[in-house]
């Protein structure tokens, strides 16, 4: 009598990571760019660089052409604000779903429920390479523990989402990833699980994984010291205000972690209303301008066209508009990013004007 795979309809071969990396290699020039952008992010995290990281871009990539259109615009703005802001494009291919829904470009690249994962992996990697070769750092959420083998070499910053921050698997995964990682607070708003995740990911771990050739393996990691907390609000309300930020920084310091936090202007902090993101971002900019050194970054969901749309059979999609969470439009995003850059300049002035205590 068969006792396994009773609820499995089919198991299909998956492209080996090594094969995809060979088909779509990261060039030497692009690998240098990824390395330098990771070092730049680390510099901000460690206080060696007084800029602010801004992770901004679509909620998810569903149309590579529109995504690259956005990337080209963002690249120009990144050059304009480079002295004050380190811009990382949000390049999300995997979407955690509370119940059901489109699960992202890797899982369903043709947007029709065919789940052509091998096609999705190729499309995702090609898109990442295009962004990196443009000279723009890319940031991804890591949801599936296997997917980093296919794309992580081109990623400069990563996130573990609110639904998976408490997951031991994802904390172990983060301990071995080669880039800085942000852990979001839980969906209910609790920050302690994100703090615990940062502590756990800093330590070595051994866990199940796969090799680049797709073989089951035991992975031993050294730990990732470049992790941080992301405040994204929750069911109990937003947590981007000055009191919440200071309380989080104090909680980090209490357990011996660096006083650094990134703030997400969307999700619970905007009450899931994309039109409120600019106000949230400007509040955070005000805290930065006031001299708050612990805010090292900001996240925003932004695309070419504001709002969102549903995937409907036979209905053409609006070019450059999200099919997952609603986003700010490009015309709204530009002045916000410029305001953040101005806030960083103001923070420098505050810091320069503050007398240094005698030793």
| Tens digit of each residue's pLDDT (9 = 90 or more) over 178-199 | 999 999 999 999 999 999 999 9
Return the SS3 of 51: coil
Asked if residue 311 is part of any domain, the answer here is no
* 355 pLDDT more than 80: no
> Residue 359: what pLDDT?
47
Mean pLDDT along residues 69-80: 98
* 153 pLDDT more than 60: yes
Asked if residue 6 is part of any domain, the answer here is no
| Tens digit of each residue's pLDDT (9 = 90 or more) over 325-344 | 999 999 999 999 999 999 99
Inter-residue contact 40 to 86 (CB < 8 Å): yes
> Residue 157: what pLDDT?
98
Tell me the average pLDDT of the chain. 95
pLDDT bucket at 301, cuts 50 / 70 / 90: very high
Asked if residue 162 is part of any domain, the answer here is yes
> What φ, ψ does residue 52 adopt, rounded to 5°?
-115, 135
Inter-residue contact 131 to 150 (CB < 8 Å): no
Tally of structural domains, the chain: 1
> Residue 350: what pLDDT?
83
* 358 pLDDT more than 80: no
Query: Nearest 10 degrees: CA dihedral of 193, 186, 245, 180?
Result: 70
Segments forming the whole domain that contains residue 68: 52-305+319-351
Asked if residue 312 is part of any domain, the answer here is no
Q: How far apart are CA 221 and CA 206, in angstroms?
A: 6
Q: How far apart are CA 128 and CA 154, in angstroms?
A: 7
Q: How far apart are CA 186 and CA 208, in angstroms?
A: 25
> Residue 95: what pLDDT?
84
Asked if residue 9 is part of any domain, the answer here is no
Asked if residue 142 is part of any domain, the answer here is yes
* 357 pLDDT more than 60: no
| Tens digit of each residue's pLDDT (9 = 90 or more) over 257-279 | 999 999 999 999 999 999 999 99
| Tens digit of each residue's pLDDT (9 = 90 or more) over 125-149 | 999 999 999 999 999 999 999 999 9
> Residue 284: what pLDDT?
98
Return the SS3 of 4: coil
| Tens digit of each residue's pLDDT (9 = 90 or more) over 105-131 | 999 999 999 999 999 999 999 999 999
- Residue ranges in the chain assigned as alpha helix (H): 17-23, 28-45, 64-80, 117-133, 148-151, 168-176, 192-201, 242-254, 277-289, 330-353
* 356 pLDDT more than 60: no
Domain CATH code at residue 120: 3.20.20.70
Mean pLDDT along residues 75-103: 91
DSSP string, 116-129: -HHHHHHHHHHHHH
| Tens digit of each residue's pLDDT (9 = 90 or more) over 226-250 | 999 999 999 989 999 999 999 999 9
* 316 pLDDT more than 80: yes
When computed from its CA atoms, the radius of gyration of the chain, rounded to whole angstroms, is 20
What percent of the chain lies above the pLDDT cut of 90? 94
Asked if residue 24 is part of any domain, the answer here is no
Asked if residue 342 is part of any domain, the answer here is yes
User: What count of residues does the chain have?
Assistant: 359
Return the sign of the alpha-carbon dihedral for residues 283, 284, 286, 290. Answer: positive
Q: How far apart are CA 161 and CA 186, in angstroms?
A: 8
């Amino acid at each position: 009598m068969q006792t396994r795979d009773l609820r499995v309809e089919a198991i299909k071969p998956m492209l080996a990571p090594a094969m995809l990396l060979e088909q779509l290699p990261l060039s030497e020039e692009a690998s240098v760019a990824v390395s330098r952008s990771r070092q730049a992010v680390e510099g901000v995290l460690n206080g060696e660089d007084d800029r602010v990281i801004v992770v901004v871009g679509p909620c998810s990539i569903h149309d590579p052409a529109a995504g690259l259109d956005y990337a080209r615009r963002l690249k120009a703005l990144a050059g304009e604000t480079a002295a004050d802001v380190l811009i990382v494009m949000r390049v999300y291919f995997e979407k955690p779903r509370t119940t059901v829904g489109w699960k992202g470009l890797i899982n369903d690249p043709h947007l029709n429920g065919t789940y052509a994962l091998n096609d999705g992996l190729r499309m995702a990697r090609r898109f990442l390479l295009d962004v990196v070769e443009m000279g723009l750092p890319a940031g991804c959420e890591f949801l599936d523990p296997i997917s980093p083998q296919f794309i992580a070499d081109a990623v400069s910053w990563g996130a573990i989402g609110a639904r998976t921050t408490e997951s031991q698997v994802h904390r172990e995964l983060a301990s071995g990833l080669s880039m800085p990682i942000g852990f979001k607070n839980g969906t209910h708003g609790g920050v302690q699980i994100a703090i615990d995740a940062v502590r756990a990911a800093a330590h070595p771990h051994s866990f199940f994984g796969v090799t680049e050739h797709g073989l089951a393996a035991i992975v031993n990691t050294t730990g990732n010291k470049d992790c941080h907390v992301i405040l994204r609000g929750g069911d109990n309300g937003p947590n981007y205000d000055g009191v919440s930020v200071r309380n989080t920084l104090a909680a980090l310091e209490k357990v011996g972690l660096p006083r650094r936090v990134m703030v997400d202007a969307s999700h619970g902090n905007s009450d899931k209303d994309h039109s409120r993101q600019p106000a949230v971002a400007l509040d955070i900019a005000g805290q930065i301008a006031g001299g708050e050194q612990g805010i090292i970054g900001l996240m925003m969901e932004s695309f070419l066209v504001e709002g969102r749309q549903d995937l409907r059979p036979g209905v053409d999609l609006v070019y450059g508009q999200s099919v997952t969470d609603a986003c700010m439009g490009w015309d709204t995003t530009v002045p916000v990013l410029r305001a953040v850059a101005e806030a960083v300049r103001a923070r420098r002035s505050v810091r320069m004007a503050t007398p240094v205590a005698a030793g």
